[in-house]
Structure 1
Amino acid sequence: MSETAIELWRGGRMESRIRADVAVVDSLGTVRYWFGDPHRETYWRSSAKPFQAMPIIMSGGAEQYHFGPREVAIVCASHGGQPMHVELVQDLLKRIDATPEDLICGVHPPSDRESARALMVRGDEPVVLHNNCSGKHTGMLTLARALKAPLAGYEKPEHPVQQAIRQNVAYMTGLDGDSLHTGIDGCGVPTFYLPLTRMAYSYARLVDPRGLDPAHSGAALIISEAMRMHPDLVSGTGRLEVTLAEATDHRLVSKGGAEAVFCIGIPDKGLGLAVKIDDGYSRVMPTLVTAVLNQIGVLGMSEQVKLEEQLHPEIRNHAGTLVGEICPVLALQSGRLN
């Protein structure tokens, strides 16, 4: 059961409690640290994107269409709709002889505020390329090309693209593909429902793929390296993935998801981390994730200093006056929990 992980204080009194669950798992599948219910089930949402992208590598599609690390990063992205994101997705669509009209993810304004404001100033409307999932969907079209499958219907569970993704998710999570439950994500494709322990296990295997077969191991190495080095393409300016990368000299592989899910792979320790905030609101996610990394010994002293604003954030009002603080109160349990 979820427990209080974060408290919000104002005027010397506790105002709000944030409940969460945490699982930290090694690449052998052993739970090493946890908080609340590490086996809590929830939808993986966009934190699943690296595993939705792996079949692109294994099918030969990435090689066929000359994907480098930047292209791999954008197909794993929940990007901000910044010009660098839009231009890269446009380029990939041209490479695979597809158009924005082939994308079924829908239209929303850029999540990056500056990019959204620039559109408004120009009087332009957002287009499908600004959708944070347009890179993922372009990757799925690339997989369809590699599989010689039709582009139309690529989002449907029975399409060869989604079947290949489902098989890969089952392999990386160690779950039975036939019983793997899915819902429909915000962008219109299947999203997977599974325990936090299995999410964390997958991220551990992504960054420590020694136990995988050669095809999966090769794909995992390519994807984890691209995500590690290009968090700006995986997310965008000011986002947590970028903040963590800048503070840790790109040591981590991280990816957030909707409804307050966040996953991290820690290559030098062979660990994966998955967290879920109970109310689905990500306002304290930087504090929660940074506190967990600190408690499991991932952050050095200089990195703690760089992440001080995340570890001990202040609450200020609109005039800039200090009025409170956000306090991590979770204490991870450790051991070997299977």
Structure 2
Amino acid sequence: MQPFARLALIHRGPAVESLHHGVVAVADAEGQLVLTRGDADLVTFPRSSLKPFQAIALVETGAADALGLTPAHIALACASHHAQDFQVAMVRDWLARLDLDERALVCGPALPHGQADMAAVLRSGGGPSRVFHNCSGKHCGFLTLARRIGAPSTGYELADHPGQRLFVDAFSELLGRDAAALPRGVDGCGLPALALPVAAMARAAARFAGVRVAGAERQRAITRILGAMRDHADHISGRDQPTERLVRATGGRVVVKGGAEGFCLAFVPERGLGIAIKLADGASRAKMAVLVGVLAELGIVKREAAPALMAAVEAPIRDSNGHEAGRIQVTL
């Protein structure tokens, strides 16, 4: 089997300019693969697509409730946010509740994602800040968990920190194997990054979507996380961003969490399905359109509605005057 399947073409005028190859795996909560493209056993890093799993202990231990966190906070713990004003305000408030400042965050200084937000910070005399980092909500979650379990607030990025061990324990149950044995790297925000097969990630996502775990507290935690990500999809990346548009377009039947380097994960709770997508070139372009194509293939999105939804979740290919210059074609 070829490791990568052709997933999308980029057209410019009459010719194909670029190709995106990758891997798709869709699993059900019983662990069966129901759709694949490419080699689903490819081992790769899901990157930020792991954040919903990393949030389990925050909720399960009672840490979120002890600090009075809302579903919006839980969504932000799962986010790769764009540092829009409402997200930055929430991170700063969260740190204040912990009596900490941004120096407690392991993630490095960054600027907001959007050009207008970045320009506003620079015009005001500001600069890079740890609260602007797209993972700062996740880091606030680990700091909150550390306080709840009596662990140090420093060193939470280390694999042997009690907070990291709780994440690995929860992920192991969903994975069906010891996640501590997975290859380990360092994520862009400084926390551990695990590598695993695309198919294994789809199976873990399916069990998460179907809430297939043994303990009642963990079941409630996962249900709350899914609800928070569904109801506060604007916190996951930003307002009027592809994630929010897709969740809104599907009436909340699909919950989405992207990852760096071309990874995308989707949960379909009503059908207990997990969808994992990895673009081989690490591009973000086309992965959301490919996800829509997968949803259409599964009958979750009507085929006739798929082209409009693809256009809504992918940035158009335009020239410098804003005129359309190309298009994305999904080739599942």
The amino acid that maps onto 2:116 is: E
Whether the aligned pair in 1 keeps the contact of 2:264 and 2:288 (CA below 8 Å) is no
Whether the aligned pair in 2 keeps the contact of 1:26 and 1:272 (CA below 8 Å) is yes
Whether the aligned pair in 1 keeps the contact of 2:168 and 2:180 (CA below 8 Å) is no
In 1: Cα distance, 2:249 partner to 2:300 partner: 12
Whether the aligned pair in 2 keeps the contact of 1:112 and 1:236 (CA below 8 Å) is no
The amino acid that maps onto 1:309 is: A
The yes-or-no answer on 1:287 pairing with 2:313 is: no
Output one character per residue of 1:158-199: Cα deviation in whole Å (capped at 9) or x when no partner: 111111111122122112234122110000010110111121
| Structure 2 equivalent of residue 112 of structure 1 | 114
Cα shift at 1:129: 0.5
The amino acid that maps onto 1:177 is: A
Tell me the C-alpha RMSD between the 2 structures. 1.9
Cα shift at 1:148: 0.2
In 2: Cα distance, 1:145 partner to 1:274 partner: 33
Q: Given the two structures, how large is their TM-score scaled by the length of structure 2?
A: 0.94
Segments of structure 1 that go 5 or more residues without pairing to the other structure are 331-338
Whether the aligned pair in 1 keeps the contact of 2:111 and 2:132 (CA below 8 Å) is yes
Match for 2:216 among 214, 217, 230?
214
In 2: Cα distance, 1:61 partner to 1:13 partner: 54
Output one character per residue of 1:285-318: Cα deviation in whole Å (capped at 9) or x when no partner: 2221111111111113685365151589863322
Q: Given the two structures, how large is their TM-score scaled by the length of structure 1?
A: 0.92
Segments of structure 2 that go 5 or more residues without pairing to the other structure are none
- SS at structure 2 position matched to 1:126: coil
- SS at structure 2 position matched to 1:86: helix
4+ aligned runs moved over 6 Å, structure 1: none
The amino acid that maps onto 1:241 is: T
Cα shift at 1:325: 2.3
In 2: Cα distance, 1:74 partner to 1:308 partner: 25
Cα shift at 1:34: 0.8
- SS at structure 2 position matched to 1:209: coil
CA pair 312-84 structure 1, distance change in 2 beyond 3 A: closer
The yes-or-no answer on 1:88 pairing with 2:90 is: yes
Output one character per residue of 1:42-84: Cα deviation in whole Å (capped at 9) or x when no partner: 1110000011110111111112111221111111111111111
The yes-or-no answer on 1:58 pairing with 2:57 is: no
Whether the aligned pair in 1 keeps the contact of 2:288 and 2:310 (CA below 8 Å) is no
Whether the aligned pair in 2 keeps the contact of 1:229 and 1:250 (CA below 8 Å) is yes
Cα shift at 1:211: 4.7
CA pair 288-310 structure 1, distance change in 2 beyond 3 A: farther
| Structure 1 equivalent of residue 46 of structure 2 | 44
Aligned residues: 330
The amino acid that maps onto 1:51 is: F
CA pair 86-316 structure 1, distance change in 2 beyond 3 A: closer
Whether the aligned pair in 1 keeps the contact of 2:29 and 2:273 (CA below 8 Å) is yes
